[in-house]
Structure 1
């Protein structure tokens, strides 16, 4: 009797597919309403923060989500194993959404919920991808790539439906109903994961030798030190949400700089070629950070634009501001196969630095479009189709940078850092998100159109610089140069 399959893949992929889809439903559902909830007045059941502060909070929240993937992967590799890490991560995420859904005026449950979601995502997100990869035997690269394509579809399905459903439920100040929907989504995903656990046996088991010696004590000491520092800061009367988000941003930047210094200045038995390739990677990392700084303003700055300056109607049907967050995953699902085929056809004729440069110029141009829309919005609300165009242009940039970034990271990583550098790639998201959250402060001195143009200029200039130095970077990366065509 043949084993049951999922589109020709191991049935365990169906369990991981559904778990990831519902986890992403909960994540993108919360993401679609978080900034507007924080900026809504207490009379509208919100937290009453300024738009700038809300943007900063959403920025560092997204940054920490990516940053904790590093310790999450370490815990799975050395203590829990991937399978248990995914379960406990999902459980923490569920508790976080439930905490946020509690309909009380105190913001304490909101901050607790965000902390739980950050912690849970660090355990779940990196390790569920590891389990997908382990479904296939070594050498079965074709089926593995196909399996990851299906898995990628689960992410975008959850991301597409979440803003529509959660945004509709949360409309009219029913924020906690929206948070509750995100909690239900995670509960469904976790239930399916547990029910499908029989198919996952032997996949992502704990390591034979569990390295938990002193781990709990170190975690407790770290948490205690952080609590004491925050308590002392609060007691001084100078602790504010704005200053806290700025401090977190500075810490993320220091961690990033410190890690690259650790790689480049230590010996680690790196060869001269590996050091040169890492220098090239640092430039690509910086370019990616600038890209995410703009791209990940969707759930804050662009969401506020939809709320305040957009005629929220598509084909005569009214939509919520949160629904505009569904445009991006819709375009990704449409264009992923197009770009995958394009890169295969172009081969080495288009280099990695050129793809990154194209992504930067593209995301910069999307904010030129936003500047035009913002200028037109000065005399009244503009069509929501402006945002549709912005997200369409941005997706072209994402599909030129995001999958390519993972690939080039594995290629340029020194032998001593093969596993760690994949986690470092995700730190580029954290750097971009945290800095992007702080750019809201520019609104105090710049007009809305000028704000978009300043960020657009940064991205376009960085993209053009990459284009100019493509040849040098390709040499540093030891990337194959195409032979000149015969005339």
Structure 2
């Protein structure tokens, strides 16, 4: 997308109307609010649904398998953003991608809401994976489209948008977690489906007035002569994949362990391919190539950060269920409620961080230094959670305040890294790869969870201290390295701050 086209999009969007920000932020804020409500509500009870006994309404899987499935599922959710970004950039634009994605997500939650067997569970996972891949990267990309690159409100706008994400993520574990854990898992999944339906209505009825030209046209559309060839390749690829799966499963080549290994390879390999394609593309200018190089260490830092943060729905969810004292002053705490802590702290602190970045203006830390702070806090959050085992042993139940403190510290890191990373991605992206670069940002989470699927099997009450200590220590070391390299990385950004 050329600079003039970007300017036309900005001019088509009413620039005042939502807390001093473009009016389109209202549409994107509430669309993402409801999508995240549905996703995090489902996620808050999903791991328990998998490993709880059938007599308790669960699927009866063993816990290590359930934890690995959660990580693989999370990886595939973000990995599918490649497909969504490509379809938006090349075929139908980000607006249609968001709408179609929301429909698939809603159908996935409906499938989970129907009592059934493991097959129906995996059908729902496929629908949600594909739907999130269409919606998630593209709604964030449109946030970048409604601001000019020079607009000082941009980082603050992403922080507000990020607060919308976390407002939905805060409320849903409390509501879906309460209903799903204490009454019926499938009723909880039904609430998630309703949430996505409301998000679709918000987007459908406000996008024309609030978003103008944003998302209407693909940034790098396929030429008419290319379409037949591309669609033929996609069709042949799908058929070949189906044949390979049909052969691999009965012969034992495709097992759960081999699938985890395959996702791990894809989680690392796909970003490498993406960086190479963008760097070598003739549509990428010299300055854009320099920015792509600068983006690589930020991407690696994001992978490390999300490898820790995303364990809130796996290791820390199990920790809350089995290692934490859940009765406080005669009141029973649901283990699913702990997953509301992360978004709660973000809701409270995001306005503070948004105000702080605007107040500091050009004096604020550079993007690489913000990322290094994010890694530092992530590492500290894991070092904190190993202390209860050190002081009280592996058998005693842990005071829930230790979990609260761990979530609080990682949120400090998240606010230094995540909204800043979203904004930096839209600014550092080559023009011809705008939506696809946002998909690349979410591939950091995919890579992190693909790695997590490999390492969660090493966690147990006996290895708890070593597990948290090693991962936390690696994050802190990487934060120091990134801080030292930040001046060189900033120089390669070619004027982007």
CA gap 1:107/1:166 in 2 versus in 1, 3 angstroms? same
DSSP-derived class of the 1:162 partner = helix
Q: Which of 385, 392, 407 is equivalent to 1:370?
A: 385
Question: Aligned-pair distance for 1:348?
Answer: 4.4
Q: Does 1:37 align with 2:37?
A: no
Question: Aligned-pair distance for 1:69?
Answer: 2.1
Q: Does 1:297 align with 2:311?
A: yes
Q: Which segment is superposed worse, 377-386 or 340-349?
A: 340-349
Q: Which of 122, 125, 128 is equivalent to 1:114?
A: 125
Aligned ranges 1:211-230 → 2 under 5 Å: 213=228, 216-230=231-245
Contact 1:45-1:173 at 8 Å conserved across structures: no
Question: Aligned-pair distance for 1:419?
Answer: 5.5
Structure 2 unaligned spans of 5+: 1-15
Question: Aligned-pair distance for 1:99?
Answer: 0.6
CA gap 1:425/1:444 in 2 versus in 1, 3 angstroms? same
- Residue of structure 2 in register with 1:182 after alignment: 192
Q: Which of 162, 165, 168 is equivalent to 2:172?
A: 162
Q: Which of 35, 58, 65 is equivalent to 1:46?
A: 58
Contact 1:56-1:434 at 8 Å conserved across structures: no
Q: Does 1:334 align with 2:348?
A: yes
Q: Which of 234, 239, 248 is equivalent to 2:254?
A: 239
Question: Aligned-pair distance for 1:299?
Answer: 0.6
CA distance in 1, matches of 2:34, 2:107: 15
Q: Note the alpha carbon deviations across 1:286-308, whole angstroms, 9 max, x for none.
A: 12111111111111110000000
Q: Does 1:205 align with 2:221?
A: no
Q: Note the alpha carbon deviations across 1:267-288, whole angstroms, 9 max, x for none.
A: 76654x6655544432222121
Q: Note the alpha carbon deviations across 1:151-187, whole angstroms, 9 max, x for none.
A: 3332121111000111111114722121111112112
Aligned ranges 1:448-467 → 2 under 5 Å: 448-467=464-483
CA distance in 2, matches of 1:81, 1:339: 32
CA distance in 1, matches of 2:111, 2:239: 22
CA distance in 1, matches of 2:435, 2:191: 36
Q: Note the alpha carbon deviations across 1:307-364, whole angstroms, 9 max, x for none.
A: 0011124676422111100001111111112223334428446333332222212111
Aligned ranges 1:1-400 → 2 under 5 Å: 13-104=25-116, 106-132=117-143, 141=151, 148-172=158-182, 174-196=184-206, 199=209, 203=213, 204-205=215-216, 213=228, 216-264=231-279, 271=286, 277-313=291-327, 317-343=331-357, 344-345=359-360, 347-348=362-363, 350-375=365-390, 376=392, 378-400=394-416
Question: Aligned-pair distance for 1:417?
Answer: 5.0
DSSP-derived class of the 2:314 partner = helix
CA gap 1:289/1:12 in 2 versus in 1, 3 angstroms? closer
Q: Which segment is superposed worse, 417-426 or 46-55?
A: 417-426
- Residue of structure 1 in register with 2:5 after alignment: none
Contact 1:44-1:173 at 8 Å conserved across structures: no
CA distance in 1, matches of 2:460, 2:113: 32
CA distance in 2, matches of 1:154, 1:277: 29
The TM-score, its normalising length taken from structure 2, stands at 0.85
Q: Which segment is superposed worse, 456-465 or 413-422?
A: 413-422
CA distance in 2, matches of 1:156, 1:255: 28
Structure 1 unaligned spans of 5+: 482-487
CA gap 1:80/1:149 in 2 versus in 1, 3 angstroms? same
Q: Which segment is superposed worse, 373-382 or 274-283?
A: 274-283
CA distance in 1, matches of 2:212, 2:337: 40
DSSP-derived class of the 1:310 partner = coil
CA gap 1:474/1:311 in 2 versus in 1, 3 angstroms? same
Q: Which of 439, 453, 462 is equivalent to 1:437?
A: 453
Q: Which segment is superposed worse, 220-229 or 305-314?
A: 220-229
Q: Note the alpha carbon deviations across 1:50-102, whole angstroms, 9 max, x for none.
A: 33222222222222222222321332344333333222211111110011111
Question: Aligned-pair distance for 1:218?
Answer: 3.8
CA gap 1:252/1:168 in 2 versus in 1, 3 angstroms? same
Contact 2:166-2:343 at 8 Å conserved across structures: yes
